[in-house]
Amino acid sequence: MNILKNTILLFFLSVGLIFIASCSSPAADEVNVYSARHYQTDEDLFKEFTGETCIRVNLIKAGADQLINRLELEGATSPADLFITADAGYMLQAREKNLLQPMERSVIEGIVPSYLYDSEGYWTGFTKRARVIVYDTAKVDPSDLSTYEALTDPRWQGRILVRTSKNAYNQTLMASIIAANGEEAALAWARGIVANMAQEPRGNDRDQVKAVAAGVGDVAIVNTYYMGLLLNSSNEEERRIARQMGVFFPNQDGRGAHMNISAAAIAKNAPNKKNAEKLISFLLRNESQQLLAEVNHEYPVNINTPWTELQMQWGEFKPDTIPLDQLTPHLSKATKLFDEAGWK
Ligand code: FE2
């Protein structure tokens, strides 16, 4: 039995070696990725990319702030080819700091809707997420929900859960509210939400949903995919909590629900620009988009990729299609207004 096992093991090892040997040409082709995303799915996709193209993916993972600092410090000698963030705001910052270069238009055009990529091709979304209102189905009638703005109504006093204003998802949401309603109204919105918070902001999006389940508040502002992750959690309690919640897409009679993206960009001094473009194309192709949707519950950005069953269950909705690159001037104001409103 053991001999058989060892033989099988040896067989797989040798297949692995052959595979590696076939991919290690003298001038090893590679692509250096700086990623602020920390998902197993991404690494699985990178492995698949290497298997198909023989381009080795060298992955450096850190926070988006740290990676932007690193790109700035490394300057012209940076080995970074591809920069990946889990939020549009950091990409806008990276472009403002002149850390990116445009990609070939054919990588994105006709594949991704134009509001999800930089108009000059400096970055593109490769997954999207809606920032929605999750509510306790036992306590909230969804017909009482309508817009982000309506959550400032006194009827929601002590009932809203949302994370800190230091969080990029909230900053990008705020930038979209400034773009839609102007600074004064955006400040009033932030003040109204602070007045209705169930507790001081703490924890991540998942923690907000858990706090709703624990009865700390009744509604939470969170990204859709966290609901997908909770519903499919290995932890039974997390699955139970998620099943108790409803997902509401706000602002459907107006501009639509706020959309954020995970984005990819070519670094300004990329030594392997072509490989970085190949990897972006790979992430945008149907099979990769489907995997990201199935495993991570993010919405595909490829216009031809179908939604998952869960996403279909959440239902069709109207997204806010303001081009994300137009949020750049509002981002720094977002932080300022949050501070002014006392949103921790
Ligand atoms: Fe996230």
Q: Above pLDDT 90, what percent of the chain?
A: 92
Above 60 in pLDDT, residue 43? yes
Q: Maximum distance among all alpha carbons in the chain?
A: 75
In order of 132, 175, 176, 190, 256, the CA distances from 320 in angstroms are 12, 12, 9, 19, 4
CA of 192 to the centre of ligand 1 (A): 25
Please give the backbone phi and psi of residue 319, each rounded to the nearest 5 degrees, phi first: -85, 150
Q: How far is the CA of 278 from the centre of ligand 1 (A)?
A: 25
Distance 13 CA to ligand 1 centre (A): 36
Residue 41: is its pLDDT beyond 60?
yes
- Closest of 181, 131, 148, 175 to residue 336, by C-alpha: 175
Q: How far is the CA of 211 from the centre of ligand 1 (A)?
A: 17
For residue 4, give both structure tokens.
């058989």
- Confidence at residue 1, expressed as pLDDT on a 0 to 100 scale: 40
**pLDDT number for residue 34:** 98
Q: pLDDT by residue (tens digit) across 305-316?
A: 999 999 999 999
The pLDDT value recorded for residue 289 is 98
Ligand 1 centroid–CA 302 distance in Å is 20
Q: Give me the numbers of helices (H) and strands (E) for the chain, helices first please.
A: 13, 10
Number of neighbours of residue 141 by Cβ within 10 angstroms = 9
pLDDT of residue 25: 54
**What is the tens place of the pLDDT at every residue in 322-337?**
999 999 999 999 999 9
User: 118 CA distance to ligand 1 centroid (A)?
Assistant: 21
Please give the distance, rounded to the nearest whole angstrom, from the Cα atom of residue 252 to the centre of ligand 1: 23
Looking at residues 218-232, what average pLDDT do you find? 97
> How much distance in Å is there from the Cα of 315 to the middle of ligand 1?
21
Q: What is the pLDDT of residue 21?
A: 40
Give me ligand 1 centre to Cα 204, in Å.
8
Distance from Cα 244 to the centre of ligand 1, integer Å? 21
Cα–Cα distance for residue pair 241/279, rounded to 1 Å? 37
Q: For 166-186, what is the mean pLDDT?
A: 97
CA of 132 to the centre of ligand 1 (A): 13
Ligand 1 center from residue 169 Cα (angstroms): 8
pLDDT digits (tens, 9 = 90+) for 75-114: 999 999 999 999 999 999 999 999 999 999 999 999 999 9
pLDDT at 280 over 90: yes
Q: How far apart are the CA of 86 and the centre of ligand 1, in A?
A: 7
